[in-house]
Amino acid sequence: MTESVTVLKGVGPKLAEKLERLGIRSVTDLLFHLPLRYQDRTRVIPMGSLRPGDEGVVEGVVEHAEVVYRGRRMLLARLADGTGSVTLRFFHFSTAQQQGLVRGVRLRCFGEARRGQAGLEFVHPEYRSVNDGSTVDDTLTPIYPATEGLHQLSLRRLTDDALARLDRLPDWLPPGVLAGAGLPDLESALRTVHRPPPDIPVAALLDGRHPAQRRLAFEELVAHHLSLARLRARTAREPAPPVAVEGVLLKQLTDRLPFSLTGAQQRVIRELAADMARPHPMLRLVQGDVGAGKTLVAVAACLNAVEAGYQAAVMAPTEILAEQHFHNFREQLEPLGVRVAWLSGKLTAKARREALADVAGGRARVAVGTHALFQGDVAFDNLALVVIDEQHRFGVHQRMALREKGNRDGRLPHQLIMTATPIPRTLAMTAYADLDASVIDELPPGRTPVRTVAVSDARRAEVVERISAAVAEGRQAYWVCTLIEESEALQAQAAEDAFASLTDALPHLSVGLVHGRMKPKDKESVMARFKSGGIQLLVATTVIEVGVDVPNASLMIIENAERLGLAQLHQLRGRVGRGTTESSCVLLYRPPLSDIARKRLDALRATTDGFEIARIDLDLRGPGEVLGTRQTGTMQFRIADILRDQDMLDSVKRTARSLLDRYPEHVDPLIERWLSGSEEYGRVG
Ligand code: ADP
Ligand code: MG
């Protein structure tokens, strides 16, 4: 089965090259090139029960057809079946087609129903004329991931051929596992998934919950797990600089703090210190809810590296985040005599040269920057720790690349990965299976829960009134302007507009403005005045998402809240509720709310627990994604879906472990089978 696809009928060099683009080289690869989804042409849907987005077969009689001009020429035909009607719309059509679509003709169409101007319509459906009572297909039609010049028909023909050779495929899963879980053997699972038999429970198959699909999803998840485990085992054997210290600097840091560390912070700091004392690289993920105090934990790890005579690097996915980290780290570290370098994409050539020289010469003990930090010409004197602020934006491959970058004198740096918002357990178990995990599961004392309300834009004046009232009570407020565009210029413009109108509406207040386009010095001075109480209302872009800490600010208004994701809203809201007065957050939205936006706002009103919010976020985004995509977060699977298949994850983990222990010779072939198509896995795995 590992033979090249060229053994199959009709596969020459040209076709082989196209197949290669899909990651298909061998006959086995072809068998594991699984249908993305199925088309159901096995039944005729009554038009009356058709909903937008439904894909399927309808059948009816043409009531009316005409060629019209609506900006362009098109052919419209109205089709009815007694339960309802639909419009067929063609922008390209032949004369023969036009002549065929006349009143009284009976048609069967396949396509996707969309909402049109006058009810549901099918744009360019497949159709043919039929007699009353003619039969429909008796099996579901598999749809494969395809590529240009390689269509469904060829893929179906090739898989037919591959399936005919199926009997020689080894099953790498331990026999007991399948029987226990009621899952079929590999061969029958593959046959079913590629060529569903006529009597198959259609709903289960379309849902991806048929035992045949579950069997393959299970195997894929096991393979994925094993590949991360193998990766981790390899890294664990690499040498790393052991960081063994007394903790003198850490003591100096905590002595200077106006509060004491929480029990959870102390525990996680100890976990990190124990990892870093070993002569092998630490690979640890630190999670914690917004405001749990992750920064200090990272600062502590850096200090330990510095005390042992090494350097540390801190990386964030965006310039704004990196800048916030730079300020936070400098604030904590410089009083202890630890120099922090700033490697920004915005530095002048000269400033950059100097920063690089500081890092290379070892004068700077900690370097902060975006991922660009590790690209190109940055060299460290003796790097021992890399802190990555991840924000769900990295995958395992990027992490590997960074590990490689830090590699000098054959030793890898320790890695600490921090996430800004909690990751749901299911996602963490899969996406971060190559890491150890620590959770800061305790908030610093004295935080008060934030009361959250959603208010329509139409009641903006009331909200503005509310700011007035809060300020009259001696409190401070944030007004956050949001835009989905990443463009700093547009964001800044939106904030300036809001600033102007709020200054107008609240002439008796002192209103400040911060956004990413301001000079750092101006930004800092505005922030300092807000901290000291000189500014009562701060209008800001989402730059305040991280790092801002003003306990007296107890009211936050988030404009256009419907545009932001749950995690980001939760993160923003974390800026209030840091003092002892009750805080509130107003989610200002512009109606009408989409279904998913309403659910997001509801979730925020219902809970302030970041882990719960993360779970809801995954639930909302998973099924809400377009049907047929296999993507959840950073993970790409062929058939598994960690949301749908989450009930199997514990068993996946156990099975992976038992394979490693008892059938180690099955591990490589299993990974190869499922992950060979992805180059990165091939390289790092
Ligand atoms: P996050 O986990 O969201 O990154 P931060 O590290 O930004 O949280 O910390 C949030 C705020 O809480 C900061 O102002 C920090 O100084 C403060 N903080 C951190 N640890 C404690 C603690 N143990 N007690 C009181 N305040 C703390
Ligand atoms: Mg933080």
Nearest ligand 1 atom to the CA of 261 is: 23
Domain edge (last residue) among 385, 413, 440: 440
Q: Does 169 reside within a domain?
A: no
CB atoms within 10 A of CB 76: 18
Question: What burial class does residue 38 get, using C-beta atoms within 10 Å of its C-beta: 0-12 exposed, 13-18 middle, 19+ buried?
Answer: buried
Q: Total domain count for the chain?
A: 3
Q: Is the minimum distance from the CB of 577 to ligand 1 under 6 angstroms?
A: no
- Please give the Cα distance from 76 to 92 (Å, whole number): 11
Whether residue 592 is preceded by a cis peptide bond, meaning omega within 30 degrees of 0, is yes
CB atoms within 10 A of CB 474: 11
The DSSP code sequence of 171-218 is P-S-HHHHHHHTPPPHHHHHHHHHS--TTS-HHHHHHT-SHHHHHHHH
CA distances from 354 to 325, 348, 359, 622 (A): 20, 10, 9, 46
For atom 5 of ligand 1, which residue has the closest CA?
A: 293
Nearest ligand 1 atom to the CA of 571 is: 3
Nearest ligand 1 atom to the CA of 257 is: 16
From ligand 1's centre to the CA of 575, what distance in Å?
A: 11
Domain edge (last residue) among 572, 607, 642: 607
From ligand 1's centre to the CA of 329, what distance in Å?
A: 13
Nearest ligand 1 atom to the CA of 262 is: 23
Cα–Cα–Cα angle for 561, 469, 532, rounded to 5 degrees: 85
Q: Is the minimum distance from the CB of 549 to ligand 1 under 6 angstroms?
A: yes
Q: Does 39 reside within a domain?
A: no
Task: Say yes or no: 423 and 457 in one domain.
Answer: no
Q: Does 653 reside within a domain?
A: no
Q: At 282, which CATH number?
A: 3.40.50.300
Task: Say yes or no: 367 and 430 in one domain.
Answer: yes
- Please give the Cα distance from 571 to 460 (Å, whole number): 23
Task: Say yes or no: 572 and 599 in one domain.
Answer: yes
- Please give the Cα distance from 419 to 263 (Å, whole number): 20
Q: With CA atoms as reference, report the closest residue to 576 among 596, 553, 607.
A: 553
Task: Say yes or no: 406 and 532 in one domain.
Answer: no
- Please give the Cα distance from 73 to 514 (Å, whole number): 52
Q: Does 586 reside within a domain?
A: yes
- Most distant pair of Cα atoms in the chain: their distance: 90
Task: Say yes or no: 354 and 413 in one domain.
Answer: yes
Domain edge (last residue) among 98, 117, 136: 136
From ligand 2's centre to the CA of 599, what distance in Å?
A: 26
Nearest ligand 1 atom to the CA of 297 is: 6
Q: With CA atoms as reference, report the closest residue to 449 among 292, 538, 574, 262.
A: 574
Domain residues for 101?
47-136
Task: Say yes or no: 497 and 527 in one domain.
Answer: yes
- Please give the Cα distance from 281 to 239 (Å, whole number): 7
Q: Does 457 reside within a domain?
A: yes
Task: Say yes or no: 410 and 471 in one domain.
Answer: no
Task: Say yes or no: 435 and 470 in one domain.
Answer: no
Task: Say yes or no: 406 and 488 in one domain.
Answer: no
88 in helix, strand or coil? strand
For atom 14 of ligand 1, which residue has the closest CA?
A: 549
From ligand 1's centre to the CA of 31, what distance in Å?
A: 52
Neighbouring C-alpha atoms within 13 Å toward the C-beta of 278: 15
**Predicted confidence (pLDDT) per residue in 182-207, tens digit:** 889 999 999 999 999 988 998 899 88
With a cut of 70, which residues of the chain have pLDDT below it? 1, 372-376, 391-408, 484-488, 543-548, 621-635, 677-685
Task: Say yes or no: 492 and 409 in one domain.
Answer: no
Q: Does 184 reside within a domain?
A: no
From ligand 1's centre to the CA of 294, what distance in Å?
A: 7
Q: Does 345 reside within a domain?
A: yes
Q: Does 502 reside within a domain?
A: yes
CB atoms within 10 A of CB 644: 17
Q: At 132, which CATH number?
A: 2.40.50.140
From ligand 2's centre to the CA of 254, what distance in Å?
A: 18
Task: Say yes or no: 470 and 423 in one domain.
Answer: no
Task: Say yes or no: 398 and 536 in one domain.
Answer: no
The DSSP code sequence of 309-333 is T-EEEEEESSHHHHHHHHHHHHHHH
Q: Which ligand approaches the C-alpha of residue 575 most closely?
A: 1
**Predicted confidence (pLDDT) per residue in 139-172, tens digit:** 889 999 988 888 888 999 999 999 998 877 888 9
